């Protein structure tokens, strides 16, 4: 039996970490991010919800991400632990880029929130903000970059178009991934601000959601292809660390 590659081992470690943190998050105070229903009306006890959350991450996220990992290798993207790369490319540059993205989030939200009545975007309280940053950095990158981009680029460019226009297809899929990622945040924004209809979201706020998530998505996608999945995770984590953890504690 062949040994697992370092990339696969690290991927398994990331998914296990994701599952553990997703379970822990159930027990942390969420502030304005809490469900609208009181705890006694939750569909199950918190331990059961934590186990279900962990199982969901292990099975669904883990499975889709593993498929994406294999397809990314077929597409010639940098491997998760690519021996041709160094730690500066895997960790330092993503931390730098992610921190810059996080600072952009702060500036953009501070400016754009002046143009609607709902105010700045809220943040989870600490330590939930730290756990949420790690969960999002791994989980959302698994779905929207590792699986979404790898699968659609492989399907469209390699299967349907017989390996034609891979670069153009990559950026087109990245655009769709960014939009899906942005609109995936809309329901939580509606819950946080107590909005019942999509039409109640101010146009400026909707534009901000697309802008912030779009910027993050394009940087994560670019570095995912160039420096591997760890780079995408790093960018997302550091952006959220600056945005949710540090700025959230200050605001």
pLDDT value at residue 212: 98
Whether 148 maps to a domain, the answer reads yes
38 inside domain: yes
Give me the percent of the chain exceeding a pLDDT of 90: 89
In eight-state DSSP terms, residue 132 is H
Looking at the predicted structure, is the pLDDT value of residue 84 above 90? yes
pLDDT tens-place string over residues 110-144: 999 999 999 999 999 999 999 999 999 999 999 99
What are the C-alpha distances in Å from 182 to residues 105, 148, 243?
Answer: 14, 14, 16
Q: What is the pLDDT of residues 28-65, one digit of tens each?
A: 987 665 544 445 466 778 899 999 999 999 999 999 99
∠ CA 90-93-99, nearest 5°, is 120
**Res. 213 pLDDT band, cuts 50 70 90:** very high
Q: Is 150 part of a structural domain of the chain?
A: yes
CA-nearest of 175, 177, 184 to 151 is 177
**Number of domains into which the chain is organized:** 1
In the structure encoding, which two tokens stand for residue 130, read together?
């730290």
Residue 144: per-residue pLDDT: 98
- The domain of 246 spans 6-250
The span from the CA of 57 to the CA of 72, in Å, is 20
pLDDT tens-digit map of 160-189: 999 999 999 999 999 999 999 999 999 999
Distance between CA 224 and CA 94 in Å, rounded?
A: 10
Answer yes or no: is 1 within a domain: no
């Amino acid at each position: 039996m062949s040994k697992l590659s370092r990339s696969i081992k690290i991927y398994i470690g990331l998914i296990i970490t994701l599952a553990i943190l997703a379970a822990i998050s159930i027990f942390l105070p969420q502030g304005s991010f809490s469900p609208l229903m009181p705890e006694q009306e939750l569909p199950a006890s918190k331990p059961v919800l934590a186990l279900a959350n962990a199982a969901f991450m292990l099975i669904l996220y883990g499975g889709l991400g593993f498929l994406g990992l294999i397809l990314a290798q077929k597409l010639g993207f940098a491997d998760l632990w690519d021996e041709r790369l160094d730690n500066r490319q895997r960790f330092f540059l993503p931390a730098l880029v992610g921190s810059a993205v996080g600072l952009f989030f702060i500036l953009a939200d501070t400016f754009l929130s002046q143009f609607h009545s709902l105010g700045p975007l809220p943040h989870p309280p600490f330590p939930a903000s730290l756990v949420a940053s790690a969960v999002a950095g791994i989980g959302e990158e698994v779905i929207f970059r590792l699986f979404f981009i790898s699968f659609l680029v492989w399907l469209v460019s390699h299967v349907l178009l017989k390996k034609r226009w891979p670069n153009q297809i990559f950026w087109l899929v990245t655009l769709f991934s960014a939009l899906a990622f942005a609109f995936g945040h809309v329901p939580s924004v509606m819950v946080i601000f107590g909005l019942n209809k999509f039409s109640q979201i101010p146009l400026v706020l909707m534009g901000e959601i697309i802008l912030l998530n779009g910027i993050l998505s394009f940087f994560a996608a670019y570095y995912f292809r160039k420096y591997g999945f760890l780079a995408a995770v790093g960018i997302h984590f550091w952006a959220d660390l600056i945005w949710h953890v540090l700025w959230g504690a200050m605001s």
